[in-house]
Homo-oligomer: A and B are copies of this chain.
Amino acid sequence: MSLSSKVNKARVVFIPSGKRGYFPVGTPVLQAAQTLGVDIDSVCGGRGLCGRCQVVQATGEFPKHRINSKAENISPLNETEKAYAERPKKSLDAGRRLSCATKILADCVIDVPADSQVHQQIIRKDADSFDIEIIPPVQLHYVEVWKPDMYDPSGDLRRLREALEREWQLTDLRFGPGMLPTLQRILREGDWKVTVAVDYRGQVIAVHPGFRESLCGLAIDVGSTTVAAHLCNLRTGEVLASAGVMNPQIRFGEDLMSRVSYVMLHPGGDLEMTKVIREAINKLAEKVTVQANRDLDDIIEVTFVGNPIMHHLLLGINPIELGGAPFALATDESVRIRARDLDLTLHPNARCYVLPCIAGHVGADTAGMILAEAPHLREAITLLVDIGTNAEIVLGNNERLLAASSPTGPAFEGAQISCGQRAASGAIERVRIDRETLEARFKIIGCDLWSDENGFEEASYKIGVTGMCGSGIIEVIAEMFLSGILSADGVIHGSTAGRTARVVAEGRTFSYVIHQGEQEIHITQNDVRAVQLAKAALFAGIRLLMEHLKIDKIDRIRLAGAFGSHIDVKYAMVLGLIPDCDLQQVTSAGNAAGTGARIALLNHESHAEIENVVRSVEKIETAVEAKFQQHFIEAMAFPHKTDSFPNLEKVVTLPVETSTQNDLHTGKTRKKRRRSKS
Contacts and interface: CB of A to CB of B under 8 A. Distances in A.
Interface stretch (A120-128, A153-161, A410-418, A664-672): A153-161
Contacts of A323: none
A177 B336 contact: yes
Interface stretch (A56-64, A310-318, A534-542): A310-318
Query: Which of A152, A325, A328 gathers most chain B CB within 10 Å?
Result: A328
Interface of A is mostly: loop
A178 B340 CA distance: 12
A161 to B, nearest CB: 9
A122 to B, nearest CB: 29
Interface stretch (A293-301, A587-595, A617-625): A617-625
A333 interface: yes
Nearest to A357: B155
A630 interface: no
A148 B180 contact: no
Interface stretch (A181-189, A197-205, A228-236, A365-373): A181-189
A333 B157 contact: yes
A155 B315 contact: no
Interface in A161-201: 175, 177-178, 180-181, 183-185
Interface string A450-489: 0000000000000000000000000000000000000000
A133 to B, nearest CB: 27
A177 B359 contact: no
Given A177-B337, A180-B315, A624-B151, A157 B331 contact: yes
A329 interface: yes
Contact of A331 (B149, B156, B329, B332): B156
A335 B177 contact: yes
Contacts of A359: 153
A150 B621 contact: yes
A154 B619 CA distance: 9
A360 interface: yes
Contacts of A154: 329, 332
A286 interface: no
Given A153-B621, A327-B150, A623-B150, A321 B184 contact: yes
A318 B177 contact: no
Contact of A157 (B330, B360, B619): B330
A178 to B, nearest CB: 7
Contacts of A341: 177-178
A352 to B, nearest CB: 9
Contact of A155 (B151, B177, B325, B329): B329
B177 A330 contact: no
A331 to B, nearest CB: 4
Contact of A177 (B157, B178, B315, B332): B315
A326 interface: yes
Contacts of A149: 326
Contact of A148 (B318, B328, B335): B328
B153 A360 contact: yes
Nearest to A183: B330
A332 B159 CA distance: 10
A269 to B, nearest CB: 14
B153 A184 contact: no
- A-B interface, 3 closest residue pairs, ranked by CB to CB distance from nearest: A148-B328, A155-B332, A157-B331
16 contacts: A149-B326, A150-B325, A152-B619, A153-B327, A153-B621, A155-B330, A155-B333, A156-B328, A158-B331, A158-B333, A177-B341, A178-B341, A180-B315, A180-B317, A181-B315, A181-B316
Interface of A: 147-158, 175, 177-178, 180-181, 183-185, 315-318, 321, 325-333, 335-337, 341, 357, 359-360, 619, 621, 623-624
